[in-house]
């Protein structure tokens, strides 16, 4: 089983309707390139640009069953392609940073709200948003079979617990919308998360010159060793440049599953009875 993932590394167009239209065009390009899944960068509905004033923020947010999100559900069915659409979600008491994964039939597989919001005490952080409260994994139907998929959003990947919980729930592929500079250390984080959990991680970022972003969307497949190779292999299957574009990369799911059956990382030698401290509040 092989899966083609499209990274919609595109610049926001402006208004909600303009972003809707540009997002649709990007999905059409992804389908033309043979994609099974199209992944947007973080909070595409507003281009990860949102007001801090309460009423203006609520006005910018969209409903999960509103026209913006519903259009991508319909588009997924029209294109026979899964779509992970991101948006500022209308939610009480505060909006949330959310991704919805629709399968190729247009059916909602999960709605995931960012668990770790960026609350740094700065004027431009996410303290005006609500945090999510759980991690989701779904069986995504593709033309070649089922794959277990979950999501993190941007800052979530900086907490090793995020990817570990998703792995323990059975995830084989993590879809990660992003909006920050993907420099050496953040790329190393993704490499580490894929390696230690034996799963694939697809991350879609905004291109340069979007504020504080530099493209470099990536796919790490998590397969560090193959019997026929004398040393470890590069798990980075794909890395985009900084430019705007719709990029695709292929994930060899069969190779990943065989690796997970063969190797000991992840589940086999865990000692969960000793890990209680990592979930205690400090």
Q: What is the DSSP string of 24-87?
A: HHHHHHHHHTT-SEEE--TTGGGTT---SSHHHHHHH-B-TTSHHHHHHHHHHHHHT-EEEEEE
- Is residue 124 scored above 70 in pLDDT? no
- Is residue 62 scored above 80 in pLDDT? yes
- C-alpha 282/C-alpha 279 separation (Å) is 9
Token look-up 């952080």 returns 125
Mean pLDDT of 266-273: 80
Give Cβ neighbours of residue 179 (< 8 Å, ≥ 6 apart). 41, 42, 43, 48, 154, 205, 206, 210, 212, 213
Does the pTM of the predicted model rise above 0.75? yes
pLDDT classification of 127: cutoffs 50, 70, 90: confident
Residue 22: count other Cβ atoms within 10 Å of its Cβ: 18
Token look-up 């984080």 returns 189
- C-alpha 113/C-alpha 193 separation (Å) is 20
For the sheet with 137-142, list strands across it: 137-142, 145-151, 173-177, 200-204, 218-220, 236-239
Nearest C-alpha neighbor of 101 from the set 85, 114, 113, 90 = 85
Q: Check: CATH 3.60.110.10 for 2-279?
A: yes
* Helix/strand/coil for 101: strand
Lowest mean pLDDT among 147-151, 212-216, 268-272: 268-272
When the pLDDT of each residue in the chain is averaged and rounded to a whole number, the result is 95
Which element (helix H / strand E) includes 256? helix 253-262
Q: How many CA atoms lie within 13 A of 54 on its CB side?
A: 3
pLDDT classification of 123: cutoffs 50, 70, 90: low
- Is residue 134 scored above 90 in pLDDT? yes
Cβ–Cβ under 8 Å, residues 125 and 155 = no
- Is residue 266 scored above 90 in pLDDT? no
- Is residue 122 scored above 70 in pLDDT? no
């Amino acid at each position: 089983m092989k899966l083609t993932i499209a990274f919609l590394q595109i610049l926001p167009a402006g208004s909600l309707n303009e972003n809707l239209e540009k997002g649709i065009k990007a999905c059409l390009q992804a389908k033309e390139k043979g994609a099974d899944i199209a992944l947007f960068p973080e909070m595409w509905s507003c281009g990860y640009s949102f007001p801090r004033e309460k009423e203006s923020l609520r006005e910018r947010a969209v409903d999960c069953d509103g026209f913006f999100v519903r259009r991508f559900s319909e588009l997924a069915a029209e294109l026979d392609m899964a779509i992970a659409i991101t948006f500022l979600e209308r939610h009480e008491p505060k909006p949330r940073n959310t991704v919805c994964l629709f399968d190729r039939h247009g059916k909602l597989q999960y709605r995931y709200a960012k668990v770790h919001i960026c609350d740094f005490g700065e004027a431009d952080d996410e303290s005006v948003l609500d945090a999510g409260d759980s991690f989701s994994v779904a069986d995504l139907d593709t033309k070649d079979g089922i794959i277990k998929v979950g999501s993190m959003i941007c800052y979530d990947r900086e907490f090793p617990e995020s990817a570990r919980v998703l792995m323990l729930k059975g995830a084989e592929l993590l879809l990660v919308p992003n909006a920050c500079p993907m420099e050496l250390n953040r790329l190393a984080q993704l490499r580490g998360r894929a390696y230690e959990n034996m799963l694939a991680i697809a991350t879609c970022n905004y291109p340069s010159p979007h504020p504080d972003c530099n493209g470099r969307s990536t796919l790490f497949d998590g397969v560090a060793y193959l019997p026929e190779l004398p040393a470890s292999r590069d798990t980075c299957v794909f890395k985009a440049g900084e430019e705007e574009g719709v990029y695709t990369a292929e994930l060899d799911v069969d190779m990943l599953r065989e690796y997970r059956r063969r190797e000991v990382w992840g589940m086999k030698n865990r000692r969960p009875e000793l890990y209680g401290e990592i979930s205690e509040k400090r």
